[in-house]
């Protein structure tokens, strides 16, 4: 499982012109599921993501995590993070999990995040959809 994490002051996901999810300040996570991943991988990565100290404290030091700031999380499935770019100019996706497994583990990740942050604090993209992701970078 690979994730690309971005601190944001706002982020949203749009599908077919309709905004399906948006969050205020927090983290945007692009998430890829790979073949060896399982429920243990999901729980481990979710715990790490929610615990990363990437928000400043009162002295401006990166000492606060998403839960400390009562922030939100937007999780977007992004299989291209599982790309193998070791040769040529066309990436291969042989390490990416198949759609059924990837969707199941993606949904498990979202459910785990919601159980820890609260449902209203976690937004999600749509697996397999042509999504437009917007964000205001914070940092």
Cβ neighbours of residue 55 closer than 8 Å, sequence gap 6 or more: 7, 62, 63, 64, 65, 66, 68, 69, 71
Annotated active-site residue in 19, 80, 93, 136: 80
55 is annotated as an active-site residue: no
CA distance 135 to 34: 25
Is 78 considered catalytic here?
A: yes
Q: Any catalytic annotation for residue 127? A: no
Catalytic residue among 14, 40, 55, 78: 78
CA distance 126 to 54: 26
- Residue of 79, 93, 109, 127 marked catalytic: 79
Active site (catalytic) residues: 78-80
């Amino acid at each position: 499982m690979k994730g690309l994490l971005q601190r944001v002051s706002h982020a949203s996901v749009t599908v077919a012109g309709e905004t399906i999810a948006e969050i205020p300040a927090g983290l945007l996570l692009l998430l890829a599921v790979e073949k060896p991943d399982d429920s243990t991988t999901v729980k481990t990565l979710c715990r790490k993501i929610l615990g990363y100290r990437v928000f400043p404290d009162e002295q401006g030091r990166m000492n606060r995590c998403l839960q400390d700031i009562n922030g939100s999380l937007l999780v977007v499935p992004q299989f291209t993070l599982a790309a193998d770019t070791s040769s040529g100019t066309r990436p291969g996706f042989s390490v990416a999990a198949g759609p059924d497994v990837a969707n199941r583990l993606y949904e498990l990740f979202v459910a785990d995040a919601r159980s820890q942050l609260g449902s209203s604090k976690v937004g999600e993209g749509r697996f397999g959809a042509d999504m437009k992701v917007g964000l205001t970078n914070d940092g």
